[in-house]
A = this chain, B = another copy of it.
Amino acid sequence: MAEFLKVVSFQEARQKIIECFPRQGKERVYLTEAQRRVLASDVQSPEDLPAFHRTVVDGYAVLAEDTFGSSESLPAYLDYVGEVKMGQDAGLSLQKGQCCWIPTGGMLPAGSNAAVMVEYTEKLGEDTVLVYRPVGPWENIMQKGEDIKKEEVIFSAGSFLRAQDIGLLASLGISELPVFKPWRVGLISTGDEIVPIEETPTIGKVRDVNSHALAAAIKDCGAIPHNYPLVRDDFKVLKNTVELGLRENDLLIMSGGSSVGLMDVTLDVLLSFPEAEMLFHGIAVKPGKPTLAVKIGDKMVIGLPGHPVSALMMFHIVCAPALSPYPPLSIDARLELNLSSQAGRDDFVPVELREEKGEKLALPLLGKSGLMNILSQASGFIHIPYEKQGLVKGENTRVYLY
């Protein structure tokens, strides 16, 4: 083999991939295209929200000082000078001792700094309002900019934009945004035994599951997958495909090649690039040991195991943390079986989640290696750390959903 094995822990593998991950381009998109995208720059509010002081109650706009000391038995007497209409400029200005009617959401007139709820007032004739309770300055008022201040950073670069974030941006009139371009990820399946899914495999052949499952997982990360034709165990063909893939994408993910021969050819091809730098070759995990990563210039190639269950799990363990803008989802559940594991290696075990009487239960999916039905049965996976020799039935365990 061209280079010594550099077996690392999955945490190191993940960290190396994150550190050396290709940089994303930037683009400006219209607000409706910004959903589930990642901001490339901070976004500041272009305006104050609300744009003016407004009440949050129906009642009278007042100067708070005029109501100090008022009570049921000793109301404040204020001069009624008019009315603020909903959705219109207040259009008047209060002097000491004056008040005016104001509806919820109404614009506070100049001079006033509080609102008294109508319940605590009484109108006397045309010109006088009695106030039975004091209000403090700014009581019952939403002040200009109290919700969002002009020039306040409302989203930082790197934020993932959800539906509700789109709502906040709309409310501020932000109709165009700088976001990162989605990563382009080339997918190369290798192996003499792989056939396209439309073919019926003859004995010893298997269908090309990874091109489809990994493409779907890549789309789930908001990235754009691009499949290349299947490559057999041939240095020249593989080299040409990798060259093309590196040119057309930010990142290549290769899978398959469980045979030692193909693994050798793959490594030879990757390390034949003058800028190639092996990040790791082998991860001390079960399953997924034969995972590797090579940095080639400002691009990267990640090699995943051939078996689809392992390939997808390793994708989630080491690729998704760099590729996906979504925080990983995990929930805690009670383990339904004892699980043994070898110390000195991190184990990841697919589990099926159930809920029973409001309690979440995780059933490890074991059985003979190579079962494909685990793909559809698993809700996620659990992690048995390096230093442990297993987990005990009934233990609380974190399930990483996928």
Contact A207 B171 (CB under 8 A): yes
Asked if A73 is at the interface of the complex by the 8 Å CB criterion, the answer is no
Q: From known contacts A167-B209, A213-B167, A217-B163, infer whether A86 and B312 are also in contact, taking CB-CB under 8 Å.
A: no
Which stretch from A284-292, A341-349, A371-379 is at the chain B interface?
A: A371-379
Q: Give the distance in Å from the alpha carbon of A92 to the alpha carbon of B373 in the complex.
A: 30
Chain B residue nearest to A219 in the complex (CB): B35
**Residue of A87, A193, A378 with most chain B CB atoms under a 10 A cut-off:** A87
Asked if A1 is at the interface of the complex by the 8 Å CB criterion, the answer is no
Q: B-facing mask of A133-172, CB < 8 A → 1, else 0?
A: 0000000001000111000001100000011111111111
Q: A277 to chain B: closest CB distance in Å?
A: 30
Asked if A56 is at the interface of the complex by the 8 Å CB criterion, the answer is yes
Contact B369 A164 (CB under 8 A): no
Contact A163 B402 (CB under 8 A): yes
Contact A213 B166 (CB under 8 A): yes
Interface residues on A, range: 35 or more
Contact A170 B312 (CB under 8 A): no
Which of B87, B203, B209, B372 contacts A148 (CB under 8 A)? B372
State which residues 162-189 of A face B: CB under 8 Å. Answer: 162-175
Q: A56 to chain B: closest CB distance in Å?
A: 5
Give me 26 A-to-B residue pairs in the complex whose CB atoms sit less than 8 angstroms apart, sorted by A's number.
A49-B372, A49-B373, A51-B203, A86-B204, A87-B205, A107-B203, A142-B370, A147-B373, A148-B372, A162-B220, A163-B214, A163-B216, A163-B219, A163-B312, A164-B378, A167-B209, A167-B210, A167-B213, A167-B308, A167-B372, A169-B212, A170-B197, A170-B207, A170-B211, A171-B206, A171-B209
Which A positions have Cβ atoms within 8 angstroms of B?
Answer: 31-32, 35-36, 47, 49, 51-52, 56, 86-89, 105, 107, 142, 146-148, 154-155, 162-175, 192-193, 197-201, 203-217, 219-220, 308, 312, 329, 331-332, 368-373, 375-376, 378, 402
